[in-house]
């Protein structure tokens, strides 16, 4: 996940909550990808605080450094080394066909090479650890297919080295729309709410959420299954209460404001333990840094082993010829 500060609702539903569960079944590696983030611009002075804020979010929601490796991408230099080597087997045409490249490139008069090569670094992030599987959303499936292609091409040219990593897609989540009911949840669009937000802030955000566009007056019957607010209830409100809301909305017994208030309270209650843990970690920044540095040491041990093999297969360990 890119470090843009505290994680938000979309990050939680689409990534963090599934990640926490994955720790029960997999040896997990979780990376804060600051080197990806520089392709989006931003002021360098903000990056360190954003990294720590995201690390606090990781720890607060339940990513466990005792069970998983948690680190910052730039602390393991092998990520960028492998990304550069993957350029040798990555056709430019494949990169130019990436949907996200086409979308992002429209915002630049002169397109940075990092926007084109972004998925090569993603492939390195994954294959450096010879990952059997990676949790991705539907929007990243194309990038994962490119990762699999890179693994195949590398193996064909230099010998069997990397697995063809499988996608782990949480079918129960789907596409998470923002509170505007139109775009994907994004902090930059202001259509989400922070995972660690206090009750008043949660309500200030949720109260702006778009509901059923055909429900003009409170007396109009609502259509819960086309209402994004009701969809979000599915992630936070218990089944009994959701059934009640569905019935009362359909018969105009409750208004949209009531529905939003219930959602706001459900989100606030669900995130309460995370806020408490975040308070603990925010008061102990040295402990957060220690988790990240220890994670980088553990990640580097795996990465170095992979790169010794890669350099040898690509003929880059020339010194061994003279031993």
CB-CB neighbours of 18 under 10 Å: 17
**Active site members:** 104, 184, 187
What is the reported pLDDT for 146?
95
pLDDT of residue 276: 96
pLDDT at 312: 95
pTM of this prediction? 0.90
What is the per-residue burial (b if ≥16 Cβ within 10 Å, else e) of 26-60? bebbbbbbbbbbebeeeeeeebeebbbbbbbbbbb
Residue 137, pLDDT score: 76
The string of pLDDT tens digits covering residues 75-102 is 999 999 999 999 999 999 999 998 888 8
Residue 255 contacts by C-beta under 8 Å, 6 or more apart in sequence? 218
Q: Which residues of the chain have pLDDT under 70?
A: 172-175, 320-323
Domains observed in the chain: 9-175+284-322 (3.40.50.620), 199-279 (1.10.240.10)
**3 state SS for 198-255:** CHHHHHHHHCCCCCCCCCCCCCCCCCHHHCHHHHHHHHHCCHHHHHHHHHHHHCCCCC
């Amino acid at each position: 996940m890119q470090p843009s500060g505290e994680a938000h609702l979309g990050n939680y539903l689409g990534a963090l909550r599934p990640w926490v569960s994955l720790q029960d079944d997999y040896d997990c590696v979780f990376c804060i990808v600051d080197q990806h983030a520089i392709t989006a611009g931003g002021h360098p002075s903000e990056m360190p605080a954003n990294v720590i804020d995201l690390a606090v979010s990781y720890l607060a929601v339940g990513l466990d450094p005792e069970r998983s490796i948690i680190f910052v991408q730039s602390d393991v230099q092998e990520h960028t080394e492998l990304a550069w080597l993957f350029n040798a087997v990555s056709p430019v045409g494949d990169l130019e066909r990436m949907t996200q490249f086409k979308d992002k490139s429209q915002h630049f008069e002169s397109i940075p090479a990092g926007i084109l090569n972004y998925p090569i670094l993603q492939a390195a992030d994954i294959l450096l650890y010879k990952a059997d599987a990676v949790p991705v959303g539907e929007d990243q499936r194309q990038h994962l297919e490119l990762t699999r292609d890179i693994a195949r091409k590398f193996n064909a040219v230099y010998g069997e080295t990397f697995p063809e990593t499988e996608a782990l897609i949480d079918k129960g989540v789907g596409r998470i729309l923002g509170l505007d009911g139109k775009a994907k949840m994004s902090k930059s669009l202001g259509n989400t709410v922070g995972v660690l937000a206090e009750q008043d802030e949660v309500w200030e955000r949720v109260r702006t959420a778009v509901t059923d566009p055909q429900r003009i007056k409170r007396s109009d019957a609502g259509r819960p299954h086309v209402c994004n607010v009701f969809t979000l209830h599915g992630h936070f409100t218990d089944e009994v209460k959701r059934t009640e809301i569905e019935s009362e909305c359909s018969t105009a017994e409750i208004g949209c404001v009531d529905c939003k208030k219930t959602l706001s309270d459900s989100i606030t209650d669900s995130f309460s333990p995370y806020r408490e843990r975040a308070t603990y970690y925010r008061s102990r920044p040295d402990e957060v840094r220690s988790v990240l540095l220890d994670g980088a040491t553990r990640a580097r041990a795996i990465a170095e082993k992979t790169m010794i093999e890669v350099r040898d297969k690509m003929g880059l360990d020339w010194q061994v010829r003279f031993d």
